Chain A
Amino acid sequence: MKVSRTLWAVTSLALALTLTAACGGGSGSGDAGASGDTGSVTYAGFGGTGQEAIAKAWLDPFGKESGVGVVQDNPVTYAKIQQMVDAKNVTWDIAQGGADFGLEGNPRLEDIDCSVVSCGDYANGPFKVYKQGVPLFVFSIVLAYNTDKFGANPPRNYADFFNTAKYPGKRAIDGTAGFQGILEAALMANGVPRDKLYPLDVDRALKLLEPIRDDLIVFKDAAECINLVSSGEAVMGNCYNGRVKLAKDEGQPIDNTWGQQIYLCDYLFVPKGAPDKANAMKLIAYIASAANNGKITQYIPYGPANPKATASGTYAADAPTAHVLEGEDAPIVMDSAWWNANMEKAIEKTTAWLAG
């Protein structure tokens, strides 16, 4: 009697699990089935308006032209890629992310096939092709300010950001990534030449932040930056350029300077053991090509990473790449190798500094 009940319960549970799994599998394979024999490639990005723009600029046209089905997923986390590869259950063919994942000798990534991808195009650009990653687009952390406070005489660069006498009020900075970019800006404002920034002297940079410690609002989520600055809670902030543009278009009292914008780049890479590596390389080649890489500005104010590509469309004039200033106001390009090696230590130090 007891055994039969147990059996019954286990059987029904197994049945329920199978059904759930079947339903889950069905929805995933639907897109791929439509593409026929040419295969399908899964692109994982960060979702939201960014991924919508990527889809419109590159993924959809590529699917139409090549006949390869493109399946989208999000959000990318490095931890997830790690687990996928370690469990040998990789579902993503292409993932989007930063150089901070380690794109030179990462055992969890495939090498980029430069016979398919036009790697040579990037030789003179600010962001190089890594052994395992191809630059996707350029965005930046800009010095945003509240236009109600400093509309007539806006701050120009980080010298003004650190000058609380001339520009009184709070400054919003990102506290999650070891003050990446801000440490560089502090050192530059103190007179360290660009080519002597690395290896970064974190302790010295933090000492330079000491005088404005009480004027800092340290946020943990990039969305907060826009709220802080446009509400006037902070008068300046280190916000992402795309979000500033969006808020500005909504009529918020916010704008940004392009002086010393902190240049960032997202890359495309292929997780080790990706199901369709060949099509992944084809899609990367399509996105990275000089002909196509500039199309992103039709949908979002991010600039092409391929220096040979031309930005086109609605946001061409709002992309960071359209505002590369000269001299001391030129973009700050971070040394990702240094940051990859030292991020943990920098976070330890900045967290301790914040608490102290």
Chain B
Amino acid sequence: MSALSQIQSRTSSPGPQASPAAGSDGRAGRGGGPGGGPARAWRLPRPDFWSGAGLPGLVFVVAAFVVPMAVVVVKSLTDPSPQNYAAIFTSSVYQRSVVDTLEMALVVTALCLLIGYPYAYAMARSGTALRTFLMVALMLAFWTSLLVRTYAWQIVLNDTGIVNTALRDWLGLISAPIHMIRTPFAVYVGMVHVLLPYAVLALFAQLRSIDPDVERAARVMGARPWRVFARITLPLSLPGAVAGGVLVFVLALGFYITPQLLGGARQVYVGQAIMQQIEQFLKPGVGAAMAVLLFVAVLAVLAVAARFVGLGRILGVGMGRRR
């Protein structure tokens, strides 16, 4: 969604934002970076029609997110006591889940960027027809129900599933099935499938914002295609990679359904650990404390990433680009 709004803003204002100097403008926009423009002053918008129109949305966000989040924080401290946080750190299941979750989120992020980059590049550099096709193909996967896709992967990856049946019975390449379901591999496959569009759209928006003339100039100067890519395109597209990567990483940290359906009992991720505390051990306070820590971790990741590319770019509101 965030990346979509970037695409829209890109198509509506094809200004010369992508000269090498402007490539850093996401950074420069953040209050007084080195050599940046004037620091933006934060002040409340004057009440006008649009702030009135935004009010229901604000009420919704407060009612649907801020209030429940506050309840969770209070619960983590009072049900029964702040001791909940100590309980977390003595739980070996939770400690293991943190390690497993970080590993999973990192692998999924890396895979999404590796697979998503060429895809986004093809989308950004192709003609209208191919771009539309690639976009629709991506969005079709995006629009299909998460549950349907996850159960479909079960059928594909089972020991008696499509892949193993093909390898064993039709091609005769293996004698015993390769175990994929209920392993981290299955979780990676399912999650990359779900999260890839976020990475692709962020990368696509960034790649599209690179002025083709810059690459053309490099070619005219005699640079080989690989060199053009390595010295011009790749560096200029990095903010998009960071934005897409952070988005995927943050979403992956709290994933529940896909690991639950495709993963094994050997890996317990944070989402499952929270569920276990609340549903199985009936310790909503400890579950709430875990959720608070997860939320803090997400904020920390966003804060670090914001230092590099600007929060607006990750959230897709394009704060850095406003003049």
**Which chain A residues have a beta carbon within 8 Å of chain B's beta carbons?**
2, 5-6, 9-10, 12-13, 77-79, 82-83, 175-177, 217-220, 231-233, 343-344, 347-348, 351-352, 354-355
Q: Which of A218, A232, A344 contacts B265 (CB 8 A)?
A: A218
Q: Is B59 within 8 A of A13, CB to CB?
A: yes
Nearest CB in chain B: distance from A218 CB, A:
4
B160 cross-chain contacts in A, Cβ below 8 A: 231-233
Residue from B55, B260, B264, B265 within 8 A of A6 (CB atoms): B55
Instruction: Please give me the residue from chain A that is nearest to B59 by CB atom.
Output: A13
Check A2/B52 contact, CB under 8 A, given A13-B59, A77-B279, A348-B93. yes
Contact B92 A79 (CB under 8 A): no
If A77-B279, A351-B268, A355-B266 touch, whether A2 touches B159 (CB-CB below 8 Å) is no
Q: Does B34 touch A at the CB level, under 8 Å?
A: no
Q: Please pick, from B55, B159, B260, B280, the residue contacting A347 in the complex, using a CB distance under 8 A.
A: B280
Docked-complex contact A354 and B265, CB < 8 angstroms? yes
Q: Given A9-B56, A79-B282, does the pair A352, B92 have CB atoms closer than 8 Å?
A: yes
Which of B159, B265, B284 is within 8 Å of A175, CB to CB? B265
Q: How far is the CB of A74 from chain B (nearest CB, A)?
A: 15
Q: A9-B52, A13-B56, A347-B276 are in contact. List 9 more A-B contacts (CB 8 A).
A: A10-B59, A82-B284, A175-B264, A218-B265, A220-B260, A231-B158, A343-B281, A351-B265, A351-B268
A-B pairs with the 3 shortest C-beta distances?
A175-B265, A218-B265, A5-B52
Give B residues with C-beta under 8 Å from A.
Answer: 47, 49, 52, 55-56, 59, 91-93, 96, 158-160, 182, 260, 264-268, 276, 278-282, 284
- Give, as a whole number of angstroms, the nearest-CB distance from A350 to chain B: 8
Q: Which residues of chain B have C-beta atoms less than 8 A from A2's C-beta?
A: 47, 52
In the bound complex, residues from chain A placing their C-beta under 8 Å from that of B55 are 5-6, 9-10
Determine whether the beta carbon of A355 is less than 8 Å from that of B267: yes
| Residues in B neighbouring A343, C-beta threshold 8 A | 280-281
Q: What are 20 residue pairs bridging A and B, where the CB atoms are less than 8 Å apart in the complex?
A: A5-B52, A9-B52, A9-B55, A9-B59, A13-B59, A78-B279, A79-B282, A175-B264, A220-B260, A232-B160, A233-B160, A343-B281, A347-B276, A348-B92, A351-B92, A351-B93, A351-B268, A352-B92, A354-B264, A354-B265
Given the contacts A344-B281, A347-B280, A218 and B182 also touching, CB distance less than 8 Å: yes
Q: A5-B52, A352-B96 are in contact. Are A218 and B281 (CB under 8 A)?
A: no
Q: CB-nearest residue of chain A relative to B272?
A: A220
Residue on B with the closest CB to A351?
B93
A218 contacts B96, C-beta separation under 8 Å: no
- State the CA gap A232–B55 with chains docked (Å): 58
Q: Which residue of B lies closest to A3 (CB)?
A: B47
Cα A5 to Cα B48 in complex, Å, equals 10
Contact of B284 (CB < 8 Å), options: A6, A10, A12, A79: A79
Contact A348 B91 (CB under 8 A): yes
Q: Which residue of B lies closest to A5 (CB)?
A: B52
B47's nearest neighbour on chain A, judged by CB, is: A2
- When C-beta atoms are compared, the residue in chain B nearest to A80 turns out to be B279
What residue in chain B is nearest A77 (Cβ atoms)? B279
Residues on B with beta carbons closer than 8 Å to the beta carbon of A79: 278-279, 282, 284
Query: What chain B residues lie within 8 Å of A352 (beta carbons)?
Result: 92-93, 96
Q: Is the CB of A233 within 8 A of B159?
A: yes
Name the distance in Å between A172's Cβ and chain B's nearest Cβ: 10
A216 to B, closest residue via Cβ: B265
Q: Would you call B284 and A347 a contact (CB within 8 A)?
A: no
Chain A residues near B276 (CB-CB < 8 A): 347
When A233-B158, A348-B93 are in contact, do A218 and B264 touch as well, CB less than 8 Å?
yes
Complex contacts, B96 vs chain A, CB 8 Å: 351-352, 355
Point out which of B93, B182, B265, B266 has the most chain A C-beta atoms below 10 A from its C-beta: B265
Q: Taking CB as reference atom, which chain A residue is nearest B49?
A: A5
What CA separation (Å) do A175 and B93 show in the bound complex? 14
Contact pick for B93, options A77, A78, A177, A347, CB 8 Å: A347
**Alpha-carbon distance A13/B64, docked complex (angstroms):** 14
Minimum CB–CB distance from B254 to chain A (whole Å) comes to 18
Find the residue from B52, B158, B279, B281 having the highest chain A CB count within 10 A: B52
CA–CA, A354 and B182, complex, Å: 12
Chain B neighbourhood of A347, CB < 8 A:
93, 276, 280
B182 contact set on A, CB distance < 8 A: 217-219
CB distance from B261 to the nearest CB of A (A): 8
Chain B positions within 8 Å of A344 at CB level: 281
Give A166 to B89 CA distance when docked, in angstroms.
44
**Minimum CB distance partner of B48 in chain A:** A2
A220 contacts across to B, CB distance below 8 A = 260, 265
Q: Which residues of B contact A13 (CB under 8 A)?
A: 56, 59
CA distance A52 to B260 in the complex (A): 27
A178 to B65, CA, bound (A): 34
CA–CA, A262 to B90, complex, Å?
32
- Closest residue of chain A to B51 (Cβ to Cβ) is A2
Known interface pairs A218-B182, A233-B160; A176-B265 also in contact (CB < 8 Å): yes
